């Protein structure tokens, strides 16, 4: 659920001044009490605020904070992206596999000589080749990769929710994060694992393990 800017302001006022009457909240916002009525009703209904007769509004200090939705879903990809495993297009499939093991990764991001993203090779792309293919030391990784323009990318300011939807819709494990310009220079990756970690980090009570 998305709260409006005014509702967030009301919550801050209550947190800092509780217990506080509707009149005083209205005065702080320079609004009339009737203007605030629906906001206060919403905040009370969802349990963020508690209205105590003759006392005023207090912040409920809920364990599940509805504001957290914004933290969880609205965070930017740049806040949780991890380091991508980047290789050149002419490395062999054998070197690609070695890299996957060495850096404990599942996806190779392949760039040209100008560091521009041109392909992605996943574990299954490589396994598919290995079933019938030979000459792994001389066959370039570029032979098995998914190529541009078929690569789904995100920008640093893409939200976590959008990234998660793309991963789900395209049934892929990760997305390269590229510069906002047209250079297709990779600056990170966002994967199912990084999104899971983000949710655990930001869950009520923080990480437990
Ligand atoms: P795996 O194949 O190991 O299960 P993925 O699910 O990530 O790993 O990849 C599935 C297929 O999608 C592979 O062919 C891979 O090259 C391709 N792929 C992976 N990531 C992307 C992406 N961001 N955009 C387009 N295709 C991708």
| Closest atom of ligand 1 to CA, residue 106 | 3
Task: Please work out whether the CB of residue 148 comes within 6 Å of at least one atom of ligand 1.
Answer: no
Task: Please work out whether the CB of residue 192 comes within 6 Å of at least one atom of ligand 1.
Answer: no
Give the length of the chain.
Answer: 209
Tell me which residue of 107, 8, 105, 93 sits closest to 48, measured CA to CA: 8
Using an 8 Å Cβ cutoff, are 144 and 129 in contact? yes
By alpha-carbon position, which residue is closest to atom 10 of ligand 1?
172
- Please give the distance of CA 147 from its chain centroid, rounded to a whole number: 24
pTM of the model: 0.71
Task: Please work out whether the CB of residue 190 comes within 6 Å of at least one atom of ligand 1.
Answer: no
pLDDT per position as a tens digit, 51-92: 999 899 999 876 445 566 677 778 899 999 999 999 999 999
pLDDT per position as a tens digit, 158-193: 999 999 999 999 999 999 999 988 889 999 999 999
Task: Please work out whether the CB of residue 120 comes within 6 Å of at least one atom of ligand 1.
Answer: yes
């Amino acid at each position: 659920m998305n709260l409006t800017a005014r509702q967030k302001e009301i919550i801050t006022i209550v947190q800092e001044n509780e217990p506080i009457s509707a009149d005083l909240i209205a005065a702080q916002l320079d609004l009339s009490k009737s203007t605030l009525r629906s906001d206060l009703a919403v905040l009370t209904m969802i349990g963020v605020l508690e209205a105590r007769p003759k006392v005023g509004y207090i912040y409920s200090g809920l364990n599940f904070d509805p504001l957290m939705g914004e933290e969880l879903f609205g965070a930017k990809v740049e806040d949780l992206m991890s380091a991508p495993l980047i290789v050149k297009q002419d490395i062999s499939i054998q070197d690609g596999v070695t890299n996957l093991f060495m850096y404990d990764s599942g996806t190779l991001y392949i760039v040209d000589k100008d560091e521009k993203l041109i392909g992605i090779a996943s574990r299954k792309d490589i396994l598919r080749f290995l079933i019938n293919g030979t000459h792994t030391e001389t066959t370039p990784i570029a032979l098995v990769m998914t190529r541009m323009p078929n690569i789904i990318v995100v920008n640093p300011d893409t939200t976590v929710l959008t990234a998660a939807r793309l991963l789900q819709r395209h049934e892929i494990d990760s997305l390269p994060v590229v510069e906002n310009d047209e250079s297709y220079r990779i600056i990170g990756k966002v994967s199912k694992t990084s999104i899971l970690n983000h949710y655990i980090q930001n869950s009520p009570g923080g990480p437990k393990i």
